[in-house]
């Protein structure tokens, strides 16, 4: 038994050491520093959005102890991800574990570097959640996130990074943004400086459909349009107050969450069919999806 425990203990220590080569300290707020993960060798760093209190005077502590300045590239509050660019090169990027490789019950380690030296805590993956339409993949764990661990990696037994830890996405729960979501957000922030999201320009509320329309659509409720923004894609395409949106492209729409999910998976500038019920009749309206500023 002691040999088994020693082997496991050595393996976990090795995983921390492997991941630690890509873990940095992020000093971007008045109180305790937080943690970041090297994204690329040329100085791109990811960390938690909520630990970056200002857009300037950011310092990054490298694994070798050197402190360098960094600038904010962009941030996404919805996933609590911020991207920094440190004035350095030759960094070590980690190996990332894809979402389908992570299972409930897997042993994991949260790794942090809030004060310069590596710290780690052990736990298990307790739940997984995903929304493919919005490309949001999260892992919930029972790992204790010590102060300053936000922005750091969740690591598997092989030293691969499962995702970025956050203490801000769900109060009282240790949540990790998984690799596929991190990649999607970081690529958009690096390219555009912000997350690009589709925009229709309507205010809606759930409403029951007329019986005939509900039977034809196999759908009992839709999104009643209660306001249309001036100059919006909806106005330009001829969507009016009182119309009820039932789908956008291939996505069913019954409420605001459904509409946002549909917009999140639809390319900005693309022309899609918005199916509405108007005067009891079902019709399709082509709409060019805009970009929310």
Residues 6 or more apart whose Cβ sits within 8 Å of residue 18? 94, 155, 158, 159
φ, ψ dihedrals at 50, nearest 5°: -75, -10
Whether residue 230 lies in the annotated active site: no
- 138 CB neighbour count, 10 Å cutoff: 21
Whether residue 80 lies in the annotated active site: yes
- 157 CB neighbour count, 10 Å cutoff: 14
Whether residue 42 lies in the annotated active site: no
Please report where in the chains the tokens 């959005």 appear, as a residue: 49
- What does the alpha-carbon distance between residue 76 and residue 224 come to, in Å, rounded to a whole number? 29
Candidate list 33, 80, 166, 188, residue with the active-site label: 80
Residue 226's nearest CA partner among 206, 253, 252 is: 206
Classify residue 104 by its DSSP letter.
Answer: T
Cβ pair 205, 224 in contact under 8 A: yes
φ, ψ dihedrals at 42, nearest 5°: -85, 15
Candidate list 33, 49, 76, 150, residue with the active-site label: 150
Candidate list 22, 33, 49, 50, residue with the active-site label: 50
Cβ pair 103, 111 in contact under 8 A: no
- What does the alpha-carbon distance between residue 48 and residue 150 come to, in Å, rounded to a whole number? 6
Cβ pair 48, 112 in contact under 8 A: no
- Catalytic residue set: 50, 80, 150
């Amino acid at each position: 038994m002691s040999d088994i425990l020693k082997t496991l203990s050595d393996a976990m220590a090795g995983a921390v050491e492997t991941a630690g080569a890509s873990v940095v300290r992020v000093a971007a707020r008045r109180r305790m520093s937080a943690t970041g993960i090297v994204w690329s060798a040329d100085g791109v760093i990811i960390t938690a959005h909520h630990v970056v209190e200002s857009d300037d005077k950011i310092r990054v502590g490298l694994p070798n102890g050197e402190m360098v300045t960094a600038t904010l590239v962009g941030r996404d509050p919805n996933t609590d991800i911020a991207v920094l660019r440190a004035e350095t090169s030759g960094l070590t990027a980690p190996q990332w574990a894809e979402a389908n490789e992570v299972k409930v019950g897997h042993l994991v380690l949260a790794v942090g570097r809030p004060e310069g030296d590596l710290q780690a805590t052990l736990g298990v993956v307790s739940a997984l959640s995903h929304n493919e339409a919005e490309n949001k993949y999260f892992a919930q764990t029972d790992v204790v996130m010590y102060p300053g661990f936000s922005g750091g990696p969740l690591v598997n037994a092989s030293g691969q990074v499962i995702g970025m830890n956050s203490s801000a996405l769900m109060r009282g729960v240790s949540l990790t943004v998984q690799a596929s979501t991190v990649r999607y957000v970081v690529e958009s922030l690096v390219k555009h400086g912000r997350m690009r999201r589709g925009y229709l320009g309507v205010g809606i509320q759930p409403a029951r459909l007329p019986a005939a329309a509900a039977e034809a659509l196999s759908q009992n409720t839709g999104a009643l349009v209660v306001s249309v923004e001036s100059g919006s894609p909806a106005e330009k395409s001829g969507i009016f107050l009182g119309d009820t949106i039932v789908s956008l492209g291939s996505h069913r729409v019954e409420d605001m969450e459904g509409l946002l999910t549909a917009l999140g998976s639809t390319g900005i500038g693309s022309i899609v069919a918005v199916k509405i019920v108007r005067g009891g009749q079902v019709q399709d309206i082509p709409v060019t999806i805009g970009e929310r500023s």
